[in-house]
C-alpha cells in the first residue's frame, strides 16, 4: 500500500483551477520526483498535502488514514514534513536552536531535543555552523538548515520544494547527496525540482504535471520519452 495517497485532489483560487483531480501514490522508501512547467501547480500540491492550503476537493491519506484538510502542525506530528522553496528559517536564532525547536516535537525535554538536533546537524554538514544566526547563512547552508529542521520533526514522508533552486553545479551535487542520504535513512521523499539532471538521476518515479493535472507518472527514462511530456516542455511540434 502506498504510504501517501492523493486522490482526486482539487484546488481553485477564485476561478483558476490550480490543481485538478490529481491522483497519485508515494511508495514507502521511494523518491518521487514532481516536475512540470512553471505554474503547473507543484507547490500548490505541497501546500495541499501539508495542510497550508485547504483542498477544494479530493482526499489525502497517510498510511491509509484520511488526513485531508488537517492543520500543518497536526500533519507534522503524524509524520509529514516539508521544506519551503523560499527558505523559512527562524532568522534571529542560532542554527542549533532552529533545529532544536523542530526536535521538540518528538523530544519534550530540551536536553534530548538538543542532542537530536546535534545529530542531524552533523549528518547534514552544519555542525560547524551551529552557533551562527540562521539569517546569516549562505543559501546552500540555508537549504541544509531547511532540511535539518524538517528532519528534526521525525517525518515518515518529507516533501522537498526545490532544494536545489539557486545553487551552483557543485552545490547541486552536494544537495543530491543529502537527499539520497535522507532516503537511505528510511524517510520517503517527494521532490519538486527544476534541475532536470538531478531529478532524473535521483527519482525512482517521476510525476509530471501541467496546468494542475497529471500528464505522466513512471520511471524517469519512460517519462522523458512520453510525447505529452515533450509537448508540455517543448511544444506540440517537438513531440
Which residues have a Cβ under 8 Å from the Cβ of 190 and sit 6 or more positions away?
4, 26, 31, 32, 34, 46, 49, 157, 158, 159, 160
Task: Let me know the angle formed at the C-alpha of 35 by 13 and 209, rounded to the nearest 5 degrees.
Answer: 50
Nearest Cα neighbor of 206 from 221, 194, 185 is 221
- Cβ proximity to other proteins: between 37 and 91 the closer is 91
Which residues have a Cβ under 8 Å from the Cβ of 91 and sit 6 or more positions away?
133, 134, 135
Nearest distance, CB of residue 143 and other proteins, angstroms: 14
Edge-first strand order for the sheet with 57-62 is 16-26, 4-13, 57-62, 65-66
82 binds other proteins (CB under 8 A): yes
Stretch that binds other proteins, among 6-14, 32-40, 97-105, 182-190 (CB under 8 A): 97-105
Nearest distance, CB of residue 35 and other proteins, angstroms: 23
Q: What is the size of the binding site for other proteins (CB under 8 A)?
A: 30
42 binds other proteins (CB under 8 A): no
Nearest distance, CB of residue 62 and other proteins, angstroms: 14
Stretch that binds other proteins, among 6-14, 53-61, 73-81, 163-171 (CB under 8 A): 73-81
- Cβ proximity to other proteins: between 45 and 206 the closer is 45
Spatial separation of the C-alpha atoms in residues 36 and 17, rounded to whole Å: 16
127 binds other proteins (CB under 8 A): no
Figure out which of the listed residues 143, 144, 149, 183 binds other proteins, where binding follows CB under 8 A. Answer: 149
Spatial separation of the C-alpha atoms in residues 175 and 25, rounded to whole Å: 25
The residues that touch other proteins, with contacts defined as CB under 8 A, are 50, 52, 71-74, 76-77, 81-82, 84, 88-93, 97, 100-102, 104-105, 108, 110, 131, 149-150, 152-153
Amino acid at each position: 500500500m502506498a504510504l501517501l495517497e492523493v486522490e482526486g485532489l482539487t484546488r481553485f483560487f477564485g476561478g483558476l483551477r490550480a490543481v485538478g483531480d490529481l491522483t497519485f501514490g508515494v511508495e514507502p522508501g521511494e523518491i518521487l520526483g514532481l516536475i512540470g512547467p512553471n505554474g503547473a501547480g507543484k507547490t500548490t500540491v505541497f501546500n495541499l498535502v501539508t495542510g497550508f492550503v485547504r483542498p477544494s476537493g479530493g482526499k489525502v491519506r497517510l498510511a491509509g488514514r484520511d488526513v485531508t484538510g488537517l492543520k500543518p502542525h497536526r500533519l507534522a506530528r503524524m509524520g509529514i514534513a516539508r521544506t519551503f522553496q523560499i527558505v523559512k528559517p527562524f532568522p534571529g536564532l542560532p542554527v542549533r536552536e532552529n533545529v532544536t525547536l523542530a526536535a521538540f516535537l518528538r523530544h519534550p525535554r530540551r536536553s534530548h531535543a538538543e542532542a537530536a538536533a546535534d545529530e542531524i546537524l552533523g549528518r547534514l554538514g552544519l555542525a560547524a555552523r551551529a552557533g551562527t544566526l540562521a539569517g546569516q547563512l549562505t543559501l546552500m547552508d540555508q537549504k541544509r538548515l531547511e532540511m535539518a529542521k524538517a528532519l528534526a520533526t521525525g517525518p515518515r514522508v518529507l516533501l522537498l520544494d526545490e532544494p536545489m533552486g539557486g545553487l551552483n553545479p557543485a552545490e547541486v551535487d552536494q544537495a543530491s547527496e543529502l537527499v539520497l542520504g535522507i532516503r537511505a535513512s528510511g524517510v520517503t521523499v517527494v521532490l519538486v525540482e527544476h534541475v532536470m539532471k538531478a531529478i532524473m538521476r535521483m527519482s525512482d518515479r517521476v510525476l509530471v504535471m501541467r496546468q494542475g493535472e497529471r500528464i505522466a507518472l513512471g520511471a524517469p527514462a519512460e517519462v522523458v520519452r512520453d510525447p505529452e511530456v515533450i509537448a508540455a516542455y517543448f511544444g506540440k511540434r517537438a513531440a
